[in-house]
Structure 1
Amino acid sequence: MSIPRKTALALALPCALVAAAHAAADLPVHTLDNGSVRATVTDAIGGRLLSFALAGHSNFLKVDTAAGDASAAVDATADNVGWLGHEIWVGPQKEWWSHQDVNPARAGAPWPPDPYLSLARYKVEDKSADAVTLASPASPVNGLQLVKRYSLVPGKPHSLRLDVDAANVRKAQVAWDIWFNTRAHAATRVYVPVARRADVRQQAIEPKPDMQPLTWTLADGLFSLDAFPAGAGKPHRNGKILLQPAAGWMAGFHDRQVLVIQFAHQPRTAIHPDQGQVELYNDWQPDAPDKGLMEMEVHAPYEKLAPGRHMQASELWTLLPYDGPDTRRAHVAFLRAHAKELGLNGL
């Protein structure tokens, strides 16, 4: 007997939700909640941040807890798994597999990310109601061990602090930067303070018949990617922009929330020339907006580390409610109205 299509869809949706919930339940989760914001972190799959949201709001991050098997063995042959959320990479990307001998077949490859830092189980070093500290295994791919600390901020009930320490565990010098990669929904509107056109670099995309490059606006000291409507028949847009910001912050608007990410502003000379201090990757699929992606990325200074030496970097995240129009003009006005209280320079 065949099942009517509407009935089949009605049955399929609960099953899909149950499957997703089961996948999420397989991940150990540490929750930080002060009543104003709520964050969840897992010590599995690279010690990543899975969610961050205002009370009563949806997850600002894009995450897929059913992307793979969190208990799968991790070694130098592992491929990337699209768990998304927030994770830490190291830069420059072109050297990811250039300083290792554990997988000669990947020598010089720019992909995938280091599986020991992105996929492995981290050790819980410390945990309290408002903070969790996680330590990665020592990576034979890039010679680093990461310690991540996620903490709610006293006196700032809408904020979360992300601290990272990277230690050289090799007997020889290594050179890397700490790279924060925050995955958000494709329709997120992101603003970055940028002083001039020369501080914007656009990477070329792989030419495909159905894909067009991103376009952008730089006006009133703020950079933003242009927004395009959803709908069938509109072009797929994809690309990456490398930015030298004029101040240490960026802000993303999505689904009645604004995520402000603050970081230590660096001169361009401190950032590896192949990277930007801020990078925005956007994959916009107008016929399937939920399948796309926005990445809000920040690079710390590129440093040479002697054996046993450490480098650190941090971000301060703040979530604010937003009920205004989804326009550049309204977004910029909102940011200017909150610039003083948040300490947003460059506006």
Structure 2
Amino acid sequence: MPRPHLSFLALHLACLSLFLTPAALASAALPSHRLDNGVVEARVSEVAGGRLLSFALKGQPNFLLIDEAAGDPDAPPDATSGYIRYQGHEVWIGPQREWWVHQDVNPARAAAKATWPPDPWLSLAKYALVHKKQDEIVLDSPASPVSGIGLRKRYALVAGKPGSLRLDAEATNHSGKLAGRDIWFNTRVPAHTMAYVPVAAREDVRIEPAGALHYTLGGGLLSLDLPMPGDAPRKGKLFAQPSHGWLAAFRDGQALVIQFTHQPRAAIHPAQGQVELYQDADARAADKGMLELEVHAPYVELAPGEAMRASELWTILPYHGPATRDAHLEFLRRHAAQLGILIP
């Protein structure tokens, strides 16, 4: 019996797939909008929670950790949705220990005071496109029956700062009752990224679980230590009260500086830190794990219909020096005036 003939298109796609790497296939998985000013590029998706998928200097690798093929972006969220590891950058609503206690769509999670997964309607749903311009995109989430919050996200390239991207989040209380909440920015990068936070003293740092992570603190700057060959894997979270409103991360020829409004300790929910670094790293598997660069806005009580707002300013610069703490700190000091950051 003769074999059926493949159409030209099917044959072309079959052949093409032989030459696409898994990374290339993943990068094409989610529909997205591109922001590009010739210096930096960013990609934003309406699906998967209105997520920021990539940010990098033009022609350079994505600074973010992303897996666009992690789940089915067309699957609507529901009260039993689990977590899908798309990664990239997303916005949560804190505090974490109250994620599921103010809802009745999943009574089991409410009774257990579940701290996982994050709100599916904010992190997995398709957002509505409010408007899109060459240098800006605005997206709206559905109103969540879990947190009672609806999110508006704005991503915009910054006029006069060609290496910068501004991220704005507005959270509105749709629950019909008073709601204590905070805005929580969460940025995922590969595990071998080196991170720095201005911190005045060890009393401004705690680690959970105790002893899980290692850091260096000197000259008013904290750096999260990476595990070296022979070290045990590291998995835990560092909570910090920063002395100034920025953090920095270095990896593979690029330096990312994230600026935010500095808050006094009393403004941040006591279960959180204004800056949190979650590290999952193993020197034996450098391509696995991740680092989360997290920033909390103030914890506030929102009346029905009331909104709160927070923002981050991202700036990415080329970095061609060695991957050492001393070299990174010297680079930050040299560029502090350009960036508009204060370094102790």
TM-score, with structure 1 as normaliser: 0.91
- Asked whether 1:282 is paired with 2:279, we answer yes
- Asked whether 1:302 is paired with 2:299, we answer yes
Q: Distance in 2 between matches of 1:308 and 1:333?
A: 47
- Asked whether 1:135 is paired with 2:149, we answer no
- What are the superposed Cα offsets for residues 7-57 of structure 1, whole Å, 9 maximum, x if unpaired? xxxxxx965945654554342200000000000000000000000000121
- What are the superposed Cα offsets for residues 255-313 of structure 1, whole Å, 9 maximum, x if unpaired? 10000000000000000000000000011111111111000000000010000000000
* Within-5 A mapping of 1:179-258: 179-204=184-209, 213-230=212-229, 234-258=231-255
> SS at the partner of 1:112?
coil
Q: Distance in 1 between matches of 2:128 and 2:337?
A: 39
Q: Offset of 1:73 from its aligned partner? A: 2.5
> SS at the partner of 1:290?
coil
Q: Distance in 2 between matches of 1:147 and 1:200?
A: 31
Aligned to 2:54: 51
Do the aligned partners of 1:26 and 1:70 also contact (CA within 8 Å) in 2? no
Q: Offset of 1:197 from its aligned partner? A: 1.1
> SS at the partner of 1:291?
coil
Tell me the amino acid that sits aligned with residue 131 of structure 1. E
TM-score, with structure 2 as normaliser: 0.92
Aligned to 1:116: 121
Q: Offset of 1:346 from its aligned partner? A: 3.2
Aligned to 2:30: 27
Do the aligned partners of 1:97 and 1:141 also contact (CA within 8 Å) in 2? yes
Aligned to 2:318: 321
Q: Distance in 1 between matches of 2:205 and 2:17?
A: 45
Do the aligned partners of 1:193 and 1:222 also contact (CA within 8 Å) in 2? yes
Aligned to 2:45: 42
User: Aligned match of 1:101 in 101, 104, 110?
Assistant: 104
User: Aligned match of 2:63 in 56, 60, 64?
Assistant: 60
Question: 1:223/1:173 Cα in 2 relative to 1: closer, same or farther (>3 Å)?
Answer: same
Which consecutive unaligned segments of at least 5 residues does structure 2 have?
Answer: 1-15
Q: Offset of 1:227 from its aligned partner? A: 2.4
Q: Distance in 2 between matches of 1:286 and 1:345?
A: 33
- What are the superposed Cα offsets for residues 82-112 of structure 1, whole Å, 9 maximum, x if unpaired? 0000000011101000000001111110000
Tell me the amino acid that sits aligned with residue 145 of structure 2. P
CA root-mean-square deviation:
1.7
Tell me the amino acid that sits aligned with residue 38 of structure 1. E
Q: How many residues align?
A: 328
> SS at the partner of 2:338?
helix
- Asked whether 1:84 is paired with 2:87, we answer yes
Which consecutive unaligned segments of at least 5 residues does structure 1 have?
Answer: 1-12, 206-211
Do the aligned partners of 2:336 and 2:343 also contact (CA within 8 Å) in 1? no
Q: Distance in 2 between matches of 1:25 and 1:281?
A: 28
User: Aligned match of 2:266 in 259, 262, 269?
Assistant: 269
- Asked whether 1:165 is paired with 2:165, we answer no
Do the aligned partners of 1:180 and 1:297 also contact (CA within 8 Å) in 2? yes
Q: Distance in 2 between matches of 1:130 and 1:249?
A: 24
